[in-house]
Amino acid sequence: MKEHKHLRRTVFAAYCLLMVYLLFLQRGRAPLIGGYVNTMLSNLNLTPGAEILRFLRVWNDPLYHRAAVVNIIGNIVMFIPLGFGLPWANAPLRRFWKTLLISAGIIILVEITQLITLLGHCDVDDLILNLIGVVIGYALYVLFSKLGIRNEE
């Protein structure tokens, strides 16, 4: 069913455009504090778990609860469609390891772009949370496939 293939790819492309908007275009550039390199380094976290633990510590604090939810839950939920959509829209990516590898590459590219452009933070915890979302999305793809919602190409 060729029209279904085009529809799946169109829906996935719309998701990708939404992600570009959410990840790069909706927020402003970080103000330069102490120059470009210092600002870039202050927006970089390479310590796994540091930001996740920081947000978990303030989870019940009314002042920071929303930020904690947006950071932890948002970073997972935003990438569920990537884990579902890659194998759904592209038959060659139906294997888990291919979906995970492509997704990791995309997420790393996003994080590096955010670092260089100062349009966000480059955070290893984002990579971890995003990949959790990808795995959930892939699991949903497998579930839907087993329930008979197949990918005919």
Asked if 14 and 22 touch (Cβ cutoff 8 Å), the reply is no
Q: Assess if residue 151 is contained within a domain.
A: no
Total domains in the chain come to 1
pLDDT, tens digit (0-9, with 9 covering 90-100), for 87-120: 998 888 899 999 999 999 999 999 999 999 998 8
pLDDT in tens, 42-88: 889 999 999 999 999 999 999 999 999 999 999 999 999 999 999 99
Residue closest to 134 by CA, chosen among 89, 109, 110, 101: 101
- Angle between helices 2-20 and 80-89 in degrees, nearest 10: 150
- Domain region containing 66: 2-146
Residue 101 lies in a domain: yes
pTM of the entire predicted model: 0.89
Query: Is 152 part of any domain?
Result: no
Q: Does 153 map to a domain?
A: no
